[in-house]
A and B are shown apart, each in its own frame.
Chain A
Amino acid sequence: MEAIILQILNGLDKGSAYALIALGLTLIFGTLGVVNFAHGALFMIGAFCAVTLSRILTWSHTVIDETRTDFLGNPLKVEVPYVHDIFGVATGDAIIDWAVPLAILFSIPVMLFVGWAMERGLIKHFYKRPHADQILVTFGLAIVMQEIIKYYYGANPIPTPAPSAFTGSFDFGAMLGMAENQIIYPYWRLVYFAFATVIIGAVFAFLQFTTFGMVVRAGMADRETVGLLGINIDKRFTIMFGLAAAVAGLAGVMYAPINSPNYHMGMDFLVLSFVVVVVGGMGSLPGAVLAGFLLGILESFASMSIVIDLIPGINQIIIYLVAIIILLTRPRGLMGRKGVMED
């Protein structure tokens, strides 16, 4: 029992990341009909937004501290971040500590801009071209983006800690009245899951309950007719692209403390996210979310030692195996709509 709960919990945070990326991919595919291989790179750029903000916040100047001396007896040089000068030491430290959550605010405009620039500058010219061309050009773009990040930030992972308030672990078992220290779960992963739920809920609410969302949904169903009604659907779709980029970026920002960002993390997630999208059904938003969580949880179940003893190596291949089975038995994926990307 404990083991099962623990595995479900373990699957949630990875599943959240899959679901968020797959949601953005599906938004882009459903609205613009573009297969975006650069979406993983957007996730990675989001994570590096967190890195950048924490670097900006810890940007410091050297001050000579007369009261202390180093081992040679000279006055000690201390690095003082500028935020200390502006906000005072206590508030400044708190701001540095909370760099990752603050990066959410920082990343939204950045990601919206990146998404907008990508759509207007490149993807726009590829609507009429075959899917293979879209895959190839976005694949090239992903390489360029990750190489730019590599050039400025280096090839090594950059640790980006969560606020110290979230560093501990949460004892689920004790809360549910079971044995203590059986089901422990880091706070930050819980935060990540809650955050993902909020974002997914917000995206759905936005599409469901606002006029803008209604127009976008109408455009997804029949772009031509919406255009004939005198609505500038292209403009709205561009905004949706920016939104999808922002969702991927936020997923990346919050993932930075879980896995230290490196330049190829986007590519690692991209392959899995595509599998997730295809399993969920091309163009189906609920399908993408469902498949994301499902595959995340399945992956963590497969890495249980009992399962591995039974079928060796299953933890490495489970996602791909599920994808192959689903693609062959349910051609449209779990919740795919009829007529979307059928061959």
Chain B
Amino acid sequence: MFGLDKKDAKLLLIVAALVLFAPFLLNPFPTDSAMAQFNAGYPDLMQRFVIFGIFAIGFNILFGLTGYLSFGHAAFLGVGSYSAVWMFKLLSMNVVPAIILSVIVSGLFAVVIGYVSLRRSGIYFSILTLAFAQMSFALAYSVLTPITGGETGLQLALDDPRILGVAQTEGGNIPVPGIFGLEMRSTAELAIGPWEFVFNVGYYFSGILMLAAFYLAIRIFRSPFGMMLRAVKSNQQRMSYTGLNPKPYTLAAFVISGMYAGLAGGLMAAMDPLAGAERMFWTASGEVVLMTILGGVGTLIGPVLGAGAIKYMENIISKINSEILHGWFAFMPDGLEDLIVALIYPFIGKGWHLTLGIIFMLVVIFLPGGLVEGGQKIARLFGRKKAADDETPGKSTEPAE
């Protein structure tokens, strides 16, 4: 199906089903129960899951296939956001031209940076990309203020031209981004008993784009081009000896992953029409590295899982405070309760970065293949018989078609 073999088609269908039913899957707890804070099914977070999924899928095409570790990928995300917001300011609030422009501009940006950076490899490549990203950040913050809005960021204003759309709504407000009249922020709510599910236009729009991006990534992974990229990773010298020039392939991979980042940046602006320089800061580049490694570098589904895991931690674990902890362990004797809360407390709430750092280190040390490898190991642990049984629940997701 779609030119994919059976296994990949199954994977794509599973991801499609997950994206489609995410509002249900991420809201497993009734709204008024104590576990409701673990519900991740609100539009803002779901949008972030898929947008950062796109970002990580793109990063994985570069790092996973060619082994070039870019520490400056957030620059493309930032450029994408800026171009999208400019499109909102100048043309109209329709997200389609905005996203097309953000992909094109970040692609061009990636051509320039990639052409220069890819003259070196290894740590030098990492430093070069880092240097370019930090330069973009510093310039966006200071000199390029007329284009980027500087410290306050680029925002929409009432007196923007918006030649194809309206400068302001009838109520005198700034119009909101939408796709042919359908606003990105509009949501439908569905209450089933104590559960409440939210369906958001922006989420589904991003989700469909993520599926397209994921499909494209599968095609790249399985194509002769993807084979060449793997050859770049395993042995460049041998590749040149066979008469192939690795440069164009690596540059193409760099540009493609830059365009993925631009798409993610454009979508971020489409969900919330403002763009700031901090999106280009090197910690943002570090974040996508964390996502890809955590999920499983070089695997198809890994980056998406990693992005989901990190964004979930950022938004859910960081909300837990000591009172909630005390509530959980209230059944214990007082002294033990305090001890356990004191032990756990540094790792939750504001300390979620610590948990992330530790998990990340453990993954790099023990599971170089990330969560995907972990999953495979566990699956292998349960032996062949279980693996055969796994086929049946796999089929149950097929009706998603």
**Are A and B co-members of a single complex?**
yes
Chain A residues close to B by CB (< 8 Å): 35, 122, 125, 131-133, 135-137, 139-141, 143-144, 147-148, 150-151, 267, 271, 274-275, 278, 282, 312-313, 316-317, 320-321, 323-324, 327-328, 331, 341, 343
Q: A132-B69, A143-B353, A327-B120 are in contact. Are A320 and B360 (CB under 8 A)?
A: no
CA of A253 to CA of B124, assembled, Å: 30
CA of A271 to CA of B129, assembled, Å: 12
Question: Which residue of B is nearest A328, CB measured?
Answer: B119
Q: A320-B135, A343-B120 are in contact. Are A313 and B130 (CB under 8 A)?
A: no
CA of A147 to CA of B353, assembled, Å: 7
Q: Is the CB of B353 within 8 A of A341?
A: no
Question: Which residue of A is nearest B352, CB measured?
Answer: A147
Distance from B118 Cβ to chain A, minimum over Cβ atoms (Å)? 11
What are 10 inter-chain pairs, A to B, with CB distance below 8 A? A132-B67, A135-B123, A151-B354, A275-B130, A282-B123, A316-B138, A316-B139, A316-B142, A317-B138, A323-B128
By a CB distance below 8 angstroms, the chain B residues around A320 are 131-132, 134-135, 138
Interface string of B283-310 (1 = CB under 8 A from A): 1001001000100000000000000000
Q: A271-B134, A313-B139 are in contact. Are A140 and B124 (CB under 8 A)?
A: no
By a CB distance below 8 angstroms, the chain B residues around A312 are 142-143
A147-B357, A274-B127, A320-B134 known, 12 other contacts, Cβ within 8 Å: A35-B123, A135-B126, A136-B293, A136-B360, A140-B357, A141-B357, A275-B127, A278-B127, A316-B135, A317-B138, A324-B131, A341-B122
Distance from A251 Cβ to chain B, minimum over Cβ atoms (Å)? 21
By a CB distance below 8 angstroms, the chain A residues around B346 are 151
Whether a CB of chain A sits under 8 angstroms from the CB of B36 is: no
Q: Specify which of A135, A141, A323 is in contact with B361 (CB 8 Å cutoff).
A: A141
- CB within 8 Å of A: which B337-396 residues: 346, 351, 353-354, 356-358, 360-361, 364-365, 368
Whether a CB of chain A sits under 8 angstroms from the CB of B109 is: no
Q: When A and B form their complex, what is the total count of cross-chain residue pairs whose Cβ atoms lie within 8 Å? A: 106
CA of A323 to CA of B286, assembled, Å: 20
Whether a CB of chain A sits under 8 angstroms from the CB of B223 is: no
Please report whether the interface of chain A is mostly helix, strand, loop or mixed according to DSSP: helix
Distance from B366 Cβ to chain A, minimum over Cβ atoms (Å)? 10
Whether a CB of chain A sits under 8 angstroms from the CB of B141 is: yes
Interface string of B65-78 (1 = CB under 8 A from A): 00101000000000
Q: A136-B289, A147-B354, A316-B142 are in contact. Are A327 and B128 (CB under 8 A)?
A: yes
Q: Is the CB of B356 within 8 A of A143?
A: yes
Question: Which residue of A is nearest B283, CB measured?
Answer: A267
CA of A148 to CA of B350, assembled, Å: 11
Question: Which residue of A is nearest B353, CB measured?
Answer: A147
Among A133, A135, A137, A143, the one with the most B-chain Cβ atoms within 10 Å of its Cβ is A143
By a CB distance below 8 angstroms, the chain B residues around A132 are 67, 69
Whether a CB of chain A sits under 8 angstroms from the CB of B221 is: no
By a CB distance below 8 angstroms, the chain A residues around B143 are 312-313, 316
Count the B residues whose beta carbon is within 8 Å of the partner chain — how many? 40
Please report whether the interface of chain B is mostly helix, strand, loop or mixed according to DSSP: helix
Whether a CB of chain A sits under 8 angstroms from the CB of B121 is: yes
Q: A133-B368, A278-B123 are in contact. Are A324 and B116 (CB under 8 A)?
A: yes
Question: Which residue of B is nearest A278, CB measured?
Answer: B127
By a CB distance below 8 angstroms, the chain B residues around A122 are 365
Distance from A264 Cβ to chain B, minimum over Cβ atoms (Å)? 9
Whether a CB of chain A sits under 8 angstroms from the CB of B282 is: yes
By a CB distance below 8 angstroms, the chain A residues around B358 are 140, 144
Distance from B348 Cβ to chain A, minimum over Cβ atoms (Å)? 11
Distance from A35 Cβ to chain B, minimum over Cβ atoms (Å)? 6
By a CB distance below 8 angstroms, the chain A residues around B282 are 271
Question: Which residue of A is nearest B282, CB measured?
Answer: A271
Q: Is the CB of B134 within 8 A of A144?
A: no
**Which 5 A/B pairs are nearest by Cβ-Cβ distance?**
A313-B143, A143-B357, A316-B138, A147-B354, A140-B361
Among B130, B139, B356, B361, the one with the most A-chain Cβ atoms within 10 Å of its Cβ is B361
Q: Is the CB of A321 within 8 A of B121?
A: no
Distance from A86 Cβ to chain B, minimum over Cβ atoms (Å)? 32
CA of A151 to CA of B135, assembled, Å: 31
Q: A140-B364, A144-B361 are in contact. Are A341 and B123 (CB under 8 A)?
A: yes
CA of A180 to CA of B49, assembled, Å: 61
Q: Specify which of B135, B141, B286, B353 is in contact with A139 (CB 8 Å cutoff).
A: B286
By a CB distance below 8 angstroms, the chain A residues around B67 are 132
By a CB distance below 8 angstroms, the chain B residues around A343 are 120-122, 124
CA of A122 to CA of B144, assembled, Å: 43
By a CB distance below 8 angstroms, the chain A residues around B122 are 131, 341, 343
By a CB distance below 8 angstroms, the chain B residues around A136 are 289, 293, 360, 364
Q: Is the CB of A323 within 8 A of B131?
A: yes
Distance from B371 Cβ to chain A, minimum over Cβ atoms (Å)? 15
CA of A323 to CA of B125, assembled, Å: 12
By a CB distance below 8 angstroms, the chain A residues around B353 are 143, 147, 150
Distance from B297 Cβ to chain A, minimum over Cβ atoms (Å)? 9
Distance from A273 Cβ to chain B, minimum over Cβ atoms (Å)? 11
